[in-house]
A and B are shown apart, each in its own frame.
Chain A
């Protein structure tokens, strides 16, 4: 069975960097796709982007292009979402999703 386990909640200050992870089991990131989804407090789901076959083909939603970086380490079946300079508006739950299976979400709080 496919399982996606995400890293724990983070509390950061504006301007700090962050990298969150999504570890898969029973699933090959090298073969299929993995996407990232944002859910701001009390709001709906937003598609951030997708990586096909590892990171050989990475596509960002225009709203997130240049704001985040998606990557994958196929050797340890782990995908990453990273920010170089967080803003308060990045406060949200971030989900990874692969072939229809979802991670449990990572809450990122950015506050001074």
Chain B
């Protein structure tokens, strides 16, 4: 089974910009992996931010965007707010199965 890698932790200043990445042990991440991004705050269920690389879910704030960058899927947060402090997970699809990354703990400080 493929291994999906994310930065364990990142810090961003309020109002700043940060990019989280999602890599695959099988090679470059492409649109064919249908990358998803999720946000999870302590004690809450996850919520979907991005699907199929760069499509925003219905309630996703405009400051979040998804892309492919340097062979990885990427989630960019522009204009970070304290409320964005959370764990972020990516999910990649591989011919009938899917694998989560280990998650990135984002601190807004």
A residues near B (Cβ < 8 Å) are 35, 37, 44-47, 49-50, 59-63, 95, 97, 100-105
Contact = CB atoms under 8 A, between A and B. Distances in A.
B2 to A, nearest CB: 11
Main secondary structure of the interface of B (DSSP, over half): strand
28 contacts: A35-B98, A37-B46, A44-B101, A44-B102, A44-B103, A45-B89, A45-B91, A45-B100, A45-B103, A47-B91, A47-B97, A47-B99, A49-B97, A60-B97, A61-B97, A61-B98, A61-B99, A62-B1, A62-B97, A63-B1, A95-B45, A100-B36, A100-B48, A100-B57, A102-B45, A102-B47, A102-B48, A105-B45
A45 B97 contact: no
Contacts of A44: 87, 89, 100-103
Contacts, number: 50
